[in-house]
Structures are given as C-alpha cells and as structure tokens.
Amino acid sequence: MTTDVHKILVIHGPNLNMLGKREPDIYGTESLAEIDAWLRQRADAVNIELETFQTNHEGGIVEKIQEAMGRIDGLIINPAAYTHTSVAIRDAILLLDIPVIEVHLSNIYKRESFRHHSMIAGAVSAQISGLGAYGYIAALDALHSRLL
C-alpha cells in the first residue's frame, strides 16, 4: 500500500450553498457545510488531502477545473443545474487526465425530463445519482480505491 497523499477536489455547483434550506424533500436536510465536514472526516481517515469549492457561476467552475490541472489526483463534481446545459464544464473536464466522478443528490432520472440528460456524463469516469449526501462519500471512497 502506498503512503502517498492523494489530492482530491470537490466542486459544488449553483444553489448547493442552499442545501438544507432548498427543497429538503428532494435534496435532503444536510447543509453543504455538513457534507463538506463529513467529506473532510472521511478524507482524513484515508490520508487524502481534500479541497472543496462552491460557486454559483459556470465560469468559476471552469476556472477551478483548469487550475486543478496537474495539481490534483481526482475530482468529484456536482455541477447541479449546469449538468444539463454546460458544454464549457464538459470541455474543461476533458482537459483532465484523472478520474472524475459526477455526483447528484437526487436521482436525476426520476425527475423532470430535462434533468435526464447530463452534458457531463460522457466526460467523467463514473456517475453517482440518488444517494443523497452519501453519494459524495461513495465518490470519495471510489476515488480512493482507484488511486491506491
């Protein structure tokens, strides 16, 4: 087993800063701060250096992905509403040569038809949808096992 510290970036897209307040029946009652705290606790337990980032702006997500090139070992991204519209985020992800996992709190395939299509899915290693906040932990564990 390697003792290298792997660096993982978590990007949270628009409106995720409102978790716990926004449609808790769909997105859960956990706040983004709680989710990030759970991720940090899990990352510390498995020797991962974790960075989290949230923005409501598409360009901010693109810039964060570009800045991550050559600096991180894995990416977890919940592009939120940009999942269904952003070629720019998809193109930025394609710049990376690392595993990338797309996460959604709700099952996007059980919701409105416009949410059934992900512009991001074809550019990522895997997609986790419908597990609520646990989806982030599952993504972190999957990246960790892939990076060992």
Tell me the pLDDT tens digit for each residue of 28-39.
889 999 999 999
Q: Where exactly are the structural domains of the chain?
A: 6-147
Terminal-residue alpha carbon distance, the chain: 7
Per-residue pLDDT tens over the stretch 40-86:
999 999 999 999 999 999 999 999 999 999 999 999 999 999 999 99
For the segment 85-127, what is each residue's pLDDT rounded down to a tens digit? Answer: 999 999 999 999 999 999 999 888 777 776 778 999 999 999 9
Q: Is 104 marked active-site?
A: yes
Measured CA to CA, the distance from residue 67 to residue 65 in angstroms comes to: 5
pLDDT higher than threshold 90 for residue 27: no
Output the pTM of the full model: 0.93
pLDDT for res 3: 58
Angle between helices 87-94 and 58-68 (to 10 degrees): 0
- 84 is written with which tokens? 């269904």
Instruction: Determine whether domain 6-147 maps to CATH 3.30.420.130.
Output: no
Find the mean pLDDT for residues 19-24: 88
**Active-site residue, from 6, 12, 104, 144:** 104
**Is 27 a known active-site residue?**
yes
Higher per-residue pLDDT: 74 or 23: 74
From the list 6, 12, 27, 144, the catalytic residue is 27
Residue 138, class by beta-carbon neighbours within 10 Å (0-12 exposed, 13-18 middle, 19+ buried)? middle
The yes-or-no verdict on residue 2 having pLDDT over 60 is no
Describe the chain by its helix, strand, coil percentages, rounded to 5. 45, 20, 35
Element containing residue 142 per DSSP (H, E): helix 134-147
Query: According to the model, what pLDDT value does residue 130 have?
Result: 95
pLDDT top residue among 7 and 106: 7
